Amino acid sequence: MDEEKLIKLAQKGDIDAFTTLLYSCEKRLKNTAFALCPEEDEDLLQETYLAAFKSIRRFRGNSSFYTWIYRIMLNRAYKKFKKNRYKRMLIKRIGQIIPADNVSPPDPDIKEVVRAGVLNLPLHYKEVITLYYFEEMTVEEIARYLNINTGTVKSRLFTARTLLKKLIEPKEQKRD
């Protein structure tokens, strides 16, 4: 059964349909929960599932189910970290889980240099980099998700890459 039909059934109270939707993105959500909050990943996952179940009727279908529930998870994680005054740790962890590139770097330290560079980016650049590279969202999906134009997404990605390059190049030259 396709996602749209499962969502409609879940919105009518069909628990099996909702469970099927959760299973379709369970692995990605577990990985994200662990990356964001390793000490409390199961709690974060359960809170996300419960919040999604309670609000499935308000799902408008402007994005995929995964994008919607991923945003719920991020909001829960932000609240959890804000409550515990660990917002900086969350930002640091987001930076740590962004892959450097699809290409294997010749030097294993390059990933750490990229991650450190991402941590120094302003939040709106860090956000598009995370969604594009870590969540593998398309430019169009990011635009819908953040409620901005695709041109703005492209511009932010370009600027973020340029800033990262400037941040990384001096560090690479020092190692040579």
Domains assigned to the chain: 1-85 (1.10.1740.10), 98-176 (1.10.10.10)
- End-to-end alpha-carbon separation of the chain, Å? 55
Is the pLDDT assigned to residue 73 strictly greater than 60?
yes
Tokens of 141: 């999906």
pTM to 2 decimals? 0.51
Report the distance separating Cα 56 and Cα 171, nearest Å: 47
Q: Which pLDDT score is estimated for 32?
A: 83
pLDDT tens for each residue of 160-174 = 888 888 877 655 455
